Amino acid sequence: MAEPRIIVALDFADAGMAQAFVQRVTPAQCRLKVGMELFTAAGPDLVRQLVARGFDVFLDLKYHDIPSTVARACAQAAGLGVWMLNVHALGGKRMLMAAREAIESSKHRPLLIGVTLLTSHGEDELAELGLERGAERQVARLAGLVHDAGLNGVVCSPAEAALLRRRFGGEFVLVTPGIRKTGDAADDQRRTRTPVEAVAEGADYLVIGRPVTRAPDPAAVLDGINREIRTH
């Protein structure tokens, strides 16, 4: 899998804070994730600026709507020059296929991945949602839907990475949030792994937020994690 394999989650409240962080790291050390909070605050201009600085950007908006709306949104996102974007697998196969077709017809063709279950969900919350067969079985079912619709891969917790790698092979991209170094606080993540554990279990890309963005020296933290995962 092409380096860098770390995707830093820019979980900042405004563009100024995000830009201040980005000046402390390089495209060789990490890719960047722009999620709902930052995109709502700063809009597409920030995404264009990050792309212009040479960063691969993962636009993490988890599109979930009727197929035509999601298709148009994906086409607009592709036009920003992002490296990867996502849609929610619970939108169903027709929506997933509409998103894929929109990407395939765009000039710039980013990776398109599906979200299975949020890594903040525990078994109790899944039961509340009527998903009572267990996280691993639900993730496998939704990942199969994404695979059959022709998307590039899925977002999953590292706890499910080994299962999905065995089932779908090496070409299916696995993006894993919920990454914490040993001793880090789990925060709102429920199914976590260390970077080395996640890579060993089959993850292609590791989404890491606060352990990097709140570090006194983010570049040093990234260099350390990159060294760790290169040797495994």
11 is in an annotated binding site: yes
62 is in an annotated binding site: yes
Three-class SS state of 23: coil
**Distance spanning both ends of the chain, measured CA to CA:** 13
148 is in an annotated binding site: no
Cα 66 to chain centroid, rounded: 22
121 is in an annotated binding site: no
Residues 45, 56, 60, 107: which is the catalytic one?
A: 60
17 residue type, one letter: M
To the query of whether residue 217 is one of the catalytic residues in this protein, the response is no
**Is residue 15 within 8 Å of 41, Cβ to Cβ?**
yes
To the query of whether residue 60 is one of the catalytic residues in this protein, the response is yes
Q: State the Cα angle at 207 between 201 and 213, rounded to 5°.
A: 135
Q: What phi, psi does 32 have (nearest 5°)?
A: -125, 140
Q: What element of type H or E holds 207?
A: strand 205-208
68 is in an annotated binding site: yes
72 is in an annotated binding site: no
Which position has the token pair 């090496």? 170
181 is in an annotated binding site: no
In 22-155 the beta strands, taken as DSSP E runs, fall at: 31-34, 57-63, 84-88, 111-115, 153-155
64 is in an annotated binding site: yes
Residues 14, 45, 62, 204: which is the catalytic one?
A: 62
144 is in an annotated binding site: no
Residues 65, 93, 181, 184: which is the catalytic one?
A: 65
210 is in an annotated binding site: yes
Residue 162 Cα distances to 41, 139, 157, 168, 202, angstroms: 36, 12, 10, 10, 5
60 is in an annotated binding site: yes
Q: Which residues are annotated as a binding site for substrate?
A: 11, 33, 60-69, 119, 180, 189, 209-210
Q: Which residues are annotated as a binding site?
A: 11, 33, 60-69, 119, 180, 189, 209-210
Task: Return the active site residues.
Answer: 60, 62, 65
